[in-house]
Structure formats: structure tokens, C-alpha cells
Amino acid sequence: MTNNRVTASSITRRTFAALAAGVGLVAGLGLGQPAHAADPIRIGELNSYSRFAAFTVPYRQGFELALEEINAAGGVDGRPLEVISRDDGATTGDAVRVAEELVSRDKVAFIFGTFLSNVGLAVADFANQNKTLFIAAEPLTDALTMAKGNRYTFRLRANTWMQVGMLVDAVKESGAKRWAIVAPNYEYGQSSAENFKQLAAAAIPGFEVVAEQYPALGKIDAGATVSALEQARPDAIFNVLFGGDLAQFVREGNTRGLFEGRTVASLLTGEPEWMLPLKDEAPEGWIVTGYPWEQIEDAPHKAFVDAYQAKYSDTPRLGSLLGYQLMYMIRDMLAKAGSTDTEAMIAALEGLQIDTVAGPVAMRAADNQATMGAWVGKLTVHEGKGRMVDWKYYDGGPFMHTEDAVKAARQD
């Protein structure tokens, strides 16, 4: 589904609105009613539901679960929350169009979502131009809160700089010096590779990059890529591929022995959305960031997992957790702001302290980046499925950019 309405009652009104805009005669006439106490707070959401369903569908289920809980508990100040969710087409052009529609046609208070980093950056730019609040869900590029950050854009998840920092911390003792890098050729892959080069050079004496491959996102020629990496005879490999590219890369790499005797550090591969499709071919021994949900024993998290499984008869993915946390963060923000005025919401978000099911998180005002951490561990295969072992939760705080670096990088 590309279009998901959480409060079904608004369908007819929206259909009418669309019709009005389409015909171009009376658009806007029926929309701007004054807010009543029980009127829902409309929130716009956009994500790559058709291109990256593996992540985004669980993510949507996650925030819908939270939304249901929040509205059952009375919403915010007695007003229920309503999320209008749309497909962002996974391209910058489509995403900005959809964002614009959400803001000007559906009159949402603010928007959140997006998956790809380049799409996130485009929507952030739109938010800045349009003075609309945007909370990025999955785009991880550090540029979103650094060089291209703006005061209207916030992010909950640990960015590439933080996650790469955690990974480097986990592999710096391995002794590997000659590294090969493989990353998808777009913002996320590029920024992860850049961050890795910087962070690893600082942490690993004698670090050098002996090969780099940047296949286009979704278009990897895995055999040739694996051969090219093998050719450089690296000690270790840093991988940023995910999704279908990752599956092909792992299969070819396993068959050709690329990973044997080598340290592999890999972003996101331990997240169930990318690990489960690999089944028993999940590459053993890789050091990954991920989400060992079945092994996390804290009570709030267990309650979340139970509720999720009960509602969807499916196991949670990282996206589920993220969506769930994000929706609660939105509630806290709205409660603190006391209105849907953009400036009030921004003020509320800056320095916001929230208790998530994975622990406390703070939103740093300097770069609008939250301190949420990530789980880092080692992959094994267990009962025909990938599984993270020897994992540990890294809190995000220590891995963030220094405030000086933020000041130097940000232009606002």
C-alpha cells in the first residue's frame, strides 16, 4: 500500500480535497476549519513503502502500534493524533512533491519519515525552504545534521558518523590494516565510507584503503565486484551494502571465499530486515550493527516486543522499533510544545529528553541529533537464521560529533 490512513474517517474529506484541487475550482475552501479540542492533530508521513518494503513496512507497523496506544490513552491534550502516510517514491523529486502535498494540501502540522539519505536531504531542504518541521526517520547520512543540517530538521537514529564510530571501536583491535570498502554509490554509502576512512585512520595505526567499490544502489554486479575486491588482497572489508545488493554480494562473496580469514565490518547487516532474507547464508563472523531483539531482556522492550507480536503476528525489525520510538518522541514533543506551531515544536524538540523502550535519549540542540545508540555484535548462523552474538549496546552520546565540529560544519 502506498497510501495509508490511520484515521479512516478522513478519507472522504481528503478525497474531496483531492478532487477540489484536481478540478482546481474550489480547492482550499473546505479545509481550513479552526481547530477544536477533539480535532485530531494531523501529521504527515512519507516513506519508501514500495522500494524498501523490508524496512518501511515494519516501521509503519511500529509507529501505528505506538499511535494506537497513544490515542487509546487520550492522545495529546485530549486531541488524537492522525498520521497521513504516503509513498515517497524513493526519489528526491517524488519525495519533495509528496512532502509538499502533505503540507499544502493535507495541512499537516509537520512531516516525518523517509528512508534513503539523499531523499532525506532533499526533504530537509524543502522543510527549510518551507519553514516546516521535518523529523527524519531512517536517513543516516551525517550531512543531514551537519553540513546540510538546518533548524527545521531533526533525527532520532544514530547517524553514519556515530554508527561507523561504534563499528570502528569494535574492530580496531583486530589488527587489520589493509582495508577494502564497498558501499552503494549515493549519499548514505558515500558518507559512511568517508566517515570510515576518517575514523579508522584515527583509531587504527597503519590503516590504509587498498580497494574501493561503489556499485549503484540496487544495480550491483556482484561477481565482478567481489573479484575486484579479492584482487586487492585486503586484510579486512568495510561494507555498507544493504537489501538486494547485500544479498548478492554475500552470496558471491561466500562462494568465492572473499570473507575467509578476513575481518568484515558491516553497517546495518545485523538488523533483521537485512539479515533474515539471507537465511542460513548470513555471513558468520561479520562485525555488524543491528538489532538482537530476541535477546534484549529489559522489561519495557519486552513489553514492546510482546505487543508488536500480538498485533502483527510477526517478529519486530529494527524499523518496527524505530517507528515505535519515533511516535512516542512525537507525542512527547507535542505535549511539551503545547501547540502545533512550528517554532514551538522546534523549541520543544531542542533538548527534549525521552525514555524510549531501549533507554533514555536526548535530542541535542546543537545539531538536532538525538543520542540514540546502536547494538554492535558478531553474526552467526543459528537454526538456519542469522543471529547476533557477543553484542553490546553502545550509547550514542560518546560517538557524536563534538559541538565544535558541529559549529564548524553547520551553516545555520
Partner 1 sequence: MDLSFLLIQTLNGLASASALFIAACGLTIIFGVTRIVNFAHGAFYMIGAYLGVTLAVRFLDFSYGAPSFWAAIVLAAVLTGLLGAAMEMLLLRRIYRAPELFQLLATFAVVLIVEDAVIWLFGAQDILGPRAPGLKGAVMIAGERFPAYELLLVAAGPAVLAAIWLLLNRTRFGILVRAATHDRQMLAALGVNQAVLFTATVFLGCALAGLAGALQVPKQPATPHMDVNIIAEAFVVTVIGGMGSVTGAFLAAVLIGLLQAFGILVFPKITLVLVFLVMAVVLVVRPWGLLGTPEPEIRGEAALLVPLRRWDRKATIGVAVVFTLLALYPLVADAFALKLAIEAMVFALFALSLNLLLGHGGVISFGHAAWFGLGAYASALAVRHLGAPMELALLAAPLGAGLCALAAGWFIVRLSGVYLAMLTLAVAQLAYAVTFQWVEVTGGDNGLIGIWPSQWASDRIAYYYLTLALTGIAVAFLIRLVFTPFGHTLRAARDSALRAEAIGIDVRRQRLAAFAIAGSAAGLAGGLYVFSKGNIDPSVLSIPTSVDALAMALLGGIRTVTGPVVGAAGLHLLKDFVMPLTDYWRTLLGLTIIALVLLFPGGIVGTLVDFLRRRGAGEGAP
Site string for partner 1, 182-221 (x = CB under 8 A): ---xxx--x----------------------xx-xxxx-x
Q: Which is nearer to partner 1, 356 or 368 (CB)?
A: 368
Closest CA to 160 of 267, 67, 285: 267
Does 18 help bind partner 1 (rule: CB under 8 A)?
yes
Write each residue from 244 to 273 as x if it is in contact with partner 1 (CB under 8 A), else as -, in one continuous string: x--xx--xx--xxx----------------
Judged by CB under 8 A, the residue of 74, 202, 208, 224 near partner 1 is 224
Question: By C-alpha distance, which of 393, 329, 405 is closest to 156?
Answer: 329
Distances (CA, A) of 236 to 180, 207, 287: 6, 11, 11
Q: What's the min distance (Å) between Cβ of 260 and partner 1?
A: 9
Listing DSSP states for 108-168 in one string gives -S-EEE--SHHHHHHHHHHHHHHT--EEESS---GGGTTTT--TTEEE-S--HHHHHHHHH
For partner 1, which is the closer residue by CB, 25 or 72?
A: 25
# chain residues binding partner 1, by CB under 8 A: 73
Sign of CA dihedral 265, 269, 275, 278: negative
One residue of 8, 9, 12, 22 binding partner 1 per CB under 8 A: 22
Between 283 and 373, name the residue whose CB sits nearer to partner 1: 283
- Smallest distance from the beta carbon of 254 to partner 1, in angstroms? 9
**Residue 52 C-beta: closest distance to partner 1, Å:** 9
DSSP track, 283-298:
-TT-EEEE--GGG---
Coil, helix or strand for 210? strand
Nearest distance in Å: CB 41, partner 1: 20
Min separation Cβ 173 and partner 1, Å: 29
- Closer Cβ to partner 1, 21 or 307, answer by number: 21
Question: Do 81 and 43 contact (CB within 8 A), yes or no?
Answer: yes
The stretch near partner 1 (CB under 8 A) out of 69-77, 96-104, 303-311, 339-347 is 96-104
For residue 245, what are the CA distances in angstroms to 139, 188, 237, 284, 381? 18, 14, 16, 18, 20
Please state whether beta strands 369-370 and 359-364 pair in parallel, antiparallel, or not at all (unpaired). antiparallel
Q: Are strands 374-382 and 287-290 parallel, antiparallel or unpaired?
A: antiparallel
Q: Taking CB under 8 A as the rule, which mask of x and - marks residues 116-135 in contact with partner 1?
A: -xx--xx--xx--x------
Using CB under 8 A as the binding rule, whether residue 177 contacts partner 1 is answered as no
Kindly identify the residues of this chain, within the stretch 141-170, that bind partner 1 according to CB under 8 A.
148
Gap between the Cα atoms of 233 and 211, Å rounded = 9
**Least Å distance between CB 15 and partner 1?**
7
Kindly give, in sequence order, each residue whose CB lies less than 8 Å from that of residue 190, ignoring residues fewer than 6 positions away.
183, 214
Which CB sits closer to partner 1, 79 or 86? 86
Mark 29-58 with x for binding to partner 1 (rule: CB under 8 A) and - for no binding: --x-----------------xxx-xx--x-
Q: How far is 217 from 244, CA to CA, in rounded Å? A: 9
Q: Check binding of 96 to partner 1 (CB under 8 A).
A: yes
How far is Cα 52 from Cα 89, in angstroms, rounded to an integer? Answer: 10
Q: Give the amino acid at 264.
A: V
User: Where in 228-247 is the site for partner 1 (CB under 8 A)?
Assistant: 228, 230-231, 243-244, 247
315/13 Cα distance (integer angstroms): 35
Q: Is 72 in the site for partner 1 (CB under 8 A)?
A: no
- Interface with partner 1 includes 10 (CB under 8 A)? no
Under the binding rule (CB under 8 A), the answer on residue 412 touching partner 1 is no
Within residues 265-324, the interface with partner 1 by CB under 8 A covers 277-279
Q: Is 409 exposed, middle or buried (0-12, 13-18, 19+ CB in 10 A)?
A: middle
Q: Which stretch binds partner 1 (CB under 8 A): 59-67, 115-123, 193-201, 368-376?
A: 115-123
Interacting residue with partner 1 among 7, 10, 91, 380 (CB under 8 A): 91
Residues 370-389 that bind partner 1 (CB under 8 A): none
Instruction: Say whether residue 409 binds partner 1 (CB under 8 A).
Output: no
